[in-house]
Amino acid sequence: SENSPHNGEMHPDGDEILYLISGKVRVVFVDGDGEDVDVYPGDGMVIPKGVWHRVDIIEPCQIVYLTPGPNNQFRALD
């Protein structure tokens, strides 16, 4: 029901897989690496490794994240 406590994340060890069970989110590509994508229940998405992004909550949701590796990076909120 709340956005992540960071201003973006990046996964250098592999692609991240998202699957939305309920609600609505927007995947924001923070470095202009792609157009933002609204994700609806039943949608899945692959975020390529090395791409900075964040997931903004539009409606309270249930989401499954499959995030590879121990070397994830995060940017602090402004």
Task: Write down the mean pLDDT value for the chain.
Answer: 94
* Contact status, residue 69 vs residue 26, Cβ threshold 8 Å: no
Stated pTM of the model: 0.90
pLDDT band at 32 (very low <50, low <70, confident <90, very high): confident
Spatial separation of the C-alpha atoms in residues 11 and 34, rounded to whole Å:
16
Residue 11 predicted with pLDDT over 90: yes
Q: How far is CA 42 from CA 12, 39, 59, 62, in A?
A: 26, 8, 15, 11
